[in-house]
Chain A
Amino acid sequence: MDNNVLDVKNINKFFYQPEELHVLKDVSFTVKKGDFVSITGKSGSGKSTLLYLLSTMDTDFEGSIKIAGKEMKGMSNRWLASFRNQHIGFVFQFHYLLPEFSVIRNVMLPALKLAKYSKEEIEHNASELLKLLGIQDQANKRASLLSGGQQQRVAIARALINEPSIVMGDEPTGNLDSYNTAIVFDLFRKLSSERGQTMLIVTHDDDFAEQSDKTIHLADGKVTG
């Protein structure tokens, strides 16, 4: 087995509503373990669509996606959910925390679902992560009371809690000011280089893309470089 965390072969994706549209055309690429990869492209180029296919939440495609050596095509929803829980961490454009839960519980939830460690260990890991991201003092606040930048950092902590094979981001800095963008971006870099965490980030921020190990550029549903 090679050390490719992600192995994408000949993906084709169609939208049928409002009319038939060939969104992704024969997309193939690989991502190595520890790589910091950006997916770029104009809006409508299919980059988000690609990310959601890779996230295993969208199962309607042709071709093959292998994550950590496992084929995703044709697996059941239940299996994919548990795979996602263990191997994929997600950071969205709009932080998307659960507003009624405390910060630390938001971070803990995926680990509680995985149930690999005891609750105490999970809580410890979560507060370690919050410390790493510099928001440990907010741990017991309700998530909805935090600022946008803080919330996004909580979301990153949540994405990391299960030590996933791959962290995916859908324009994670798209909704932040330049100050917070810099903080979040530095965090991604740091996690990638220090912890060897694989990152796959959809962005249209050129600075962001330039500093990644690898850029996958999409145009009209095709990989162009």
Chain B
Amino acid sequence: MKFLKDKKLAASVAFTHMHAKIKQTIIATAGVAFGITVFIFMVSFITGSNDYMKNVTFEQSPHLRLYNEAKIAEKTTIDKVYPTSINIVHHLKPKEILLNLKDGKKAVQEIKKDPRVAAVSGSVVNQVFFRFGSSSINGKVNGIEVEDEDKLFNLAKKTVEGSFKDLEVVPNSMVMGVSLAKKLNARKGDRLTVTTEEGENFSVLVVGIFKTGLSNIDQQESYASLATVQRFLNVPASYITDIKMKLYDMEEAPEMSLALQKRYNYLGSDWKKDNAALLDGEVLRNLIVYGVATTILLVAGFGIFNILTMMIYEKMKDIAILKAMGFSDTDVRWIFLTQALVIGLIGAITGLLFGFILSYAISKVPYQSDVMITLDHLPVSFNPMYYIAGFSFGILTTIFSGLIPSRKAAGVDPISILRG
């Protein structure tokens, strides 16, 4: 009770001080508010764009991917002949193997039953040449189960011309990336020639053109039905080279990837490995945001520090009188700490408010981009975490910058001042 009364009294003295120095108090508060506003605005805007980029990329990339790769044979022929001696063969060539996943179709069926998996699709990926008229461009064709793949990547929605579902019904049909089509000068309804690595030519019909917003995909990828591509390659219907899946919780991907690799003896990769550059970039961008915001808040903190220190020099006499009256060192410390706290609190709340208003305003600014086709307004994140972080950081800065002057005030020796 006594404790509370002491704090209340200290606060009332603090308020009287602030009232007497209302201009400086407002300036200090505005400093904190400005710091937090900028922090909220920058973080919201930058993470908003980050998240948007991430979503675009991740939507087009599977969480988990199983594939096969040409390997160097572990045992050479010479080992078979001389099994007991140590044989060294320099510069081995890769083994000639089929790049398909053994029992891939069965694996797809099994993975489909896993409750953690949201969607899975088996496909054949192959390098081909597209020829249309005299132009010949290198690209990739994905042989897919149309429905499964659509579940994975929402391709039907990204088809800007024609229809993605036509792949299923029109024989020898193909959907291609918008940049690839532009380079070939191909449109929907055009027939073009696909040349495989083995040199065989097939004629296909372009039934659609898609746009993902990711240039490396739009420039070289195309889709055809699984059966079509298997026929190009002259392989059986069980032949698939890639299994792609999306999980309900993408954080589980690295762990699941290891388990599946072990179980099926395929190679595997997850979104974290595939997008390491993007994720690293995000960390760097966050570092920059937090660095700038911290600097701004530190400057605001120095403002508070300055004002309180000046206040204490002006109030030396008052502090001495208070102490002579029987105010303890702690009471005096609280008087000045309360001022810092009030400045911090009001500054932080106004800062959050203005930060929100500014972020909201910018999120309404129309923005058209050729690359980010699904974007119509500037992307802004409204994650409450940033508001909590901004608030806590603002309060912490003010407490720290109030602490040193308050301690100084508490340590004032009343006699040296009262004696003059």
Contacts and interface: CB of A to CB of B under 8 A. Distances in A.
Nearest to B5: A115
B48 interface: no
Nearest to B329: A77
10 contacts: A58-B415, A77-B328, A82-B328, A92-B418, A96-B321, A98-B16, A100-B19, A113-B327, A115-B6, A115-B9
Given A52-B419, A77-B328, A98 B414 contact: no
A113 B6 contact: yes
B2 interface: yes
B329 A57 contact: no
A124 to B, nearest CB: 18
Interface string B321-333: 1111111111100
A96 B318 CA distance: 8
A158 B414 contact: no
B327 A100 contact: no
Interface in B386-416: 414-415
A145 interface: no
B89 interface: no
Given A55-B324, A81-B329, A105-B16, 5 more contacts: A85-B325, A109-B325, A113-B6, A115-B5, A158-B325
Contacts of A101: 16
A77 B410 CA distance: 11
Interface string A66-87: 0000000000011001111110
B415 A110 contact: no
A35 interface: no
A90 B328 CA distance: 16
B16 A100 contact: yes
B285 interface: no
Contacts of A109: 9, 13, 322, 325
Interface of B: 2, 5-6, 9, 13, 16-17, 19-20, 317-318, 320-331, 414-415, 418-420
Given A77-B329, A81-B327, A115-B5, A52 B415 contact: yes
B325 A110 contact: yes
A170 interface: yes
Given A78-B330, A101-B16, A170 B418 contact: yes
Contacts of B331: 81, 113
Interface residues of A, number: 33
Given A77-B329, A82-B326, A84-B326, A96 B9 contact: no
A57 B414 contact: yes
A84 B415 contact: no
A112 interface: yes
Contacts of A110: 325-326
A158 B323 CA distance: 14
A101 B5 CA distance: 19
B323 A57 contact: yes
A109 B420 CA distance: 23
A98 B326 contact: no
Interface of A: 48, 52, 55, 57-58, 77-78, 81-86, 88, 90, 92-94, 96-101, 105, 109-110, 112-115, 158, 170
Contacts of B6: 113, 115
A189 B56 CA distance: 89
A83 B325 CA distance: 10
Contact of A114 (B321, B326, B420): B326
Contacts of A96: 317, 320-321, 418
Closest 3 CB pairs of A and B: A85-B326, A81-B328, A100-B20
Nearest to B327: A113
Given A57-B415, A113-B9, A84 B324 contact: yes
B51 to A, nearest CB: 50
A221 to B, nearest CB: 16
B419 A48 contact: yes
A158 B329 CA distance: 20
B82 to A, nearest CB: 91
B315 to A, nearest CB: 9
A92 B325 CA distance: 11
Given A57-B414, A78-B330, A100-B16, A84 B419 contact: no
Contacts of B330: 78
A90 B325 CA distance: 7
Contacts of B328: 77-78, 81-82
Contacts of A86: 326
B322 to A, nearest CB: 8
Contacts of B323: 57, 81
A84 B325 contact: yes
A88 B324 CA distance: 9
Contacts of A114: 326
Contacts of B2: 115
